[in-house]
Amino acid sequence: MSDRIFGVVGLLLAVGFAISALAIEESFLSDAVGPKAFPLIIAAILGLSSAIIALRPDAEPEWPALGRLVEVGAAVVVLILYAELLPVAGFVIATAFAATYLAWRLGSGPIECILVGIGTSLGIYVIFHLVLGLSLAKGPLGF
């Protein structure tokens, strides 16, 4: 029963996401694909996945222990804080902190998770901003 509820909630989220994506106003300077394409693809994948979960649930689903659910909740909180702090701290700083925390929760050691966080942040910055020319949130340091 829980899988069906999860699937239906996912379907509702996908519909809401698609409606939000369709409400995006396009600029006359947008490219051929436009800003709606990526969110609509994500909505479609979420909708299909949720439909499969709702229509073909596990007979005996196993829920994680309470400690694991708390860890998942903490990761969600970190991602929400990441989205909120992105315009304030900038892409590089916010991404470094979020990636460091997530690497730590995935089992990296203290030095490893810091290196992964910084490497992930700088790597994405180089690819998306310097190579592809996409604009990312600038922080107090100007990048």
Residue 64: CB atoms within 10 Å: 10
Rounded to whole angstroms, the Cα distance separating 46 from 52 reads 10
Is residue 105 very low, low, confident or very high in pLDDT (cuts 50, 70, 90)?
very high
* Percent of the chain scoring above 90 in pLDDT: 60
From residue 39, alpha-carbon distances to 8, 23, 85 in Å are 19, 11, 21
What global pTM score does this model have?
Answer: 0.65
pLDDT digits (tens, 9 = 90+) for 118-141: 999 999 999 988 888 888 888 887
pLDDT digits (tens, 9 = 90+) for 5-35: 889 999 999 999 999 988 988 776 666 667 7
Residue 87: CB atoms within 10 Å: 12
